[in-house]
């Protein structure tokens, strides 16, 4: 049905049954009707891959049990996939991305982009060579009010930036977690050198840079492991020095009981400040020196961004995610750049540099390390 809709043919690696992030990507791909999932290597277990494919209504012959086979087979079909979404654990991102890029297939990849900096740099070369497009799903940059904050900062609404305060606090690793989500995130072989700094710290860092427009220069990190027997950090306190003299602070935690997904960015300039909290994404606090505080809302007075719904009709996590998919589709189909730069391989490299520097600083007793 509906070839007229001209949807982008999408494949997926990872994201089989019960995987949280795979379902998020699939829903995000559908929201603006620009993609159709047509193939997948949804699990490395053949039986599971098959069942997952059936459940999603994929044709049998495009339900693969190996991403390598999939990359080749799809590249060979006239109706083969144009883009692949990679939603595996971190340590597989690089190899999977490589396999598809080498076949000229665009890539959408979950973050962190790879499990180490060398791979990320190699990936960058590969992307350049193949001419493919690459999207890293730093999804929080898709929130309309995060973008509004960025627009306001860039327009000078708060003056030159002095302080960037980042908080990303969760509590799901407060006890002795053993579930599937926890397992690979706590395993250095699959997650890389960062625990909560990789899983969520990179998101906070990325969003702060997105909003502030500032690059990180140096950091001093204190990483902690509170959970019994953990090999990776589950809490981090990190001091930042940004370019242009701005200072910063990041608190990332997965043991902060009472916090679900507490990503919050507060940015202070010489004449004003902005505060964005992911759990209330339709709002944005704006303060100006000598004036009453304002609570801005998505779609409300003064809002200059793009919204799917009128003010007061909450947009959420999936819509922000979908916005990245949607704008990436326009890059692919129309060569159009959207209203903000989409997160790509550079954001991925920044993330790896951040993780690397943080681990090194923490090992050296909090020494200031260049990022």
Positions in 91-110 near its own copies (CB under 8 A): none
CB of 368 to its own copies, least distance (A): 6
Give the residue, chosen from 46, 104, 302, 341, that forms a contact with its own copies under the rule CB under 8 A: 302
Asked if residue 16 lies in contact with residue 49, where contact means CB atoms within 8 angstroms, the answer is yes
Query: What residues contact 183, with CB distance under 8 A and at least 6 apart?
Result: none
Residue 40's region, left for phi above 0, alpha for psi from -120 to 50, else beta, is beta
We find the least distance from the C-beta atom of residue 340 to its own copies, in angstroms, to be 20
Is residue 279 at the binding interface for its own copies, with CB under 8 A as the rule?
yes
x-marked contacts with its own copies along 342-371 as a string, rule CB under 8 A: -----------------------xx-x---
Query: Under the criterion CB under 8 A, does residue 78 sit at the interface with its own copies?
Result: no
Does position 289 interact with its own copies (CB under 8 A)? The reply is yes
Residue nearer to its own copies on the CB measure, 57 or 131:
57
Number of residues that bind its own copies (CB under 8 A): 96
212 near its own copies (CB under 8 A):
no
| Phi-psi label, residue 352: left if phi above 0, alpha if psi -120 to 50, beta otherwise | alpha
Interface residue with its own copies, options 128, 295, 363, 370 (CB under 8 A): 295
> Which residues, numbered 228-257, are part of the site for its own copies (CB under 8 A)?
235, 237, 239, 247, 249, 251, 253, 255-257
For residue 138, give the 3-state DSSP assignment. coil
At 154, list the tokens.
């860039």
Interface with its own copies includes 319 (CB under 8 A)? yes
Q: Which of 59, 104, 339, 341 binds its own copies (CB under 8 A)?
A: 59
Report 144-183 residues binding its own copies (CB under 8 A). Answer: 158, 162-163, 165, 170-172, 174-175
Report residue 246 as tokens.
Answer: 């701005």
Question: Under 8 Å CB-to-CB from 60, ≥6 apart: which residues?
Answer: 50, 53, 54
Q: Is 335 in the site for its own copies (CB under 8 A)?
A: no
**Which of 109, 101, 94, 99 is closest to 131 using CA atoms?**
101
* CA-wise closest residue to 142 among 318, 333, 8, 334: 318
Q: What are phi and psi of 329, to 5 degrees?
A: -60, -40
∠ CA 75-80-82 to the nearest 5 degrees? 90
Q: Is 281 one of the binding residues for its own copies (CB under 8 A)?
A: yes
Cα dihedral sign, 195-200-268-343: positive
Q: How far is the CB of 310 from its own copies (least distance, A)?
A: 7
Should residue 313 be labelled a site residue for its own copies when binding is judged by CB under 8 A?
yes
Contact range with its own copies by CB under 8 A, out of 22-30, 43-51, 118-126, 183-191: 22-30
Q: Residue 363 belongs to what H/E stretch?
A: helix 345-363
Select 310 or 335, whichever has its Cβ closest to its own copies: 310
């Amino acid at each position: 049905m509906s070839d007229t809709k001209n949807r982008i043919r999408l494949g997926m690696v990872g994201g089989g049954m019960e995987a949280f992030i795979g379902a998020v990507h699939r829903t995000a791909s559908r929201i603006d009707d620009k993609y159709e999932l047509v193939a997948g290597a949804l699990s490395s277990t053949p039986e599971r891959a098959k069942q997952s494919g059936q459940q999603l209504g994929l044709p049998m012959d495009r339900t693969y049990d190996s991403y390598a086979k999939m990359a080749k087979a799809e590249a060979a079909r006239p109706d083969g996939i144009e883009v692949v979404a990679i939603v595996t654990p971190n340590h597989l991102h690089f190899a999977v991305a490589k396999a598809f890029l080498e076949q000229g297939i665009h890539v959408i990849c979950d973050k962190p982009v790879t499990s180490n900096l060398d791979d990320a740099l190699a990936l960058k070369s590969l992307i350049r060579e193949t001419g493919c497009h690459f999207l890293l799903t730093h999804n929080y940059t898709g929130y309309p009010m995060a973008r509004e904050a960025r627009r306001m900062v860039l327009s000078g609404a708060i003056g030159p930036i002095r302080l960037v305060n980042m908080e990303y606090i969760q509590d799901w690793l407060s006890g002795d977690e053993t579930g599937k989500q926890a397992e690979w995130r706590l395993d250095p072989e699959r997650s890389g050198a960062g625990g909560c700094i990789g899983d969520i710290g990179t998101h906070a860092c990325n969003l702060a840079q997105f909003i502030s427009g500032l690059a990180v220069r140096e950091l001093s990190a204190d990483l902690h492991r509170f959970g019994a027997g953990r090999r990776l950090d589950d809490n981090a306190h990190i001091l930042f020095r940004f370019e242009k003299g701005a200072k910063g602070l990041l608190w990332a935690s997965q043991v902060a009981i009472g916090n679900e997904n507490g990503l919050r960015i507060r940015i202070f300039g010489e004449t004003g400040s902005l505060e964005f909290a992911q759990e209330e994404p339709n709002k944005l606090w704006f303060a100006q020196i000598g004036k009453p505080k304002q609570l801005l809302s998505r779609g409300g007075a003064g809002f200059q961004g793009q919204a799917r719904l009128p003010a007061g009709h909450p947009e959420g996590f999936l819509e922000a995610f979908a916005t990245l998919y949607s704008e990436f589709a326009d890059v692919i189909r129309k060569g159009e750049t959207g209203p903000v730069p989409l997160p790509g391989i550079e954001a991925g490299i920044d993330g790896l540099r951040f993780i690397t520097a943080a681990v090194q600083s923490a090992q050296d007793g909090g020494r200031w390390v260049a990022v």
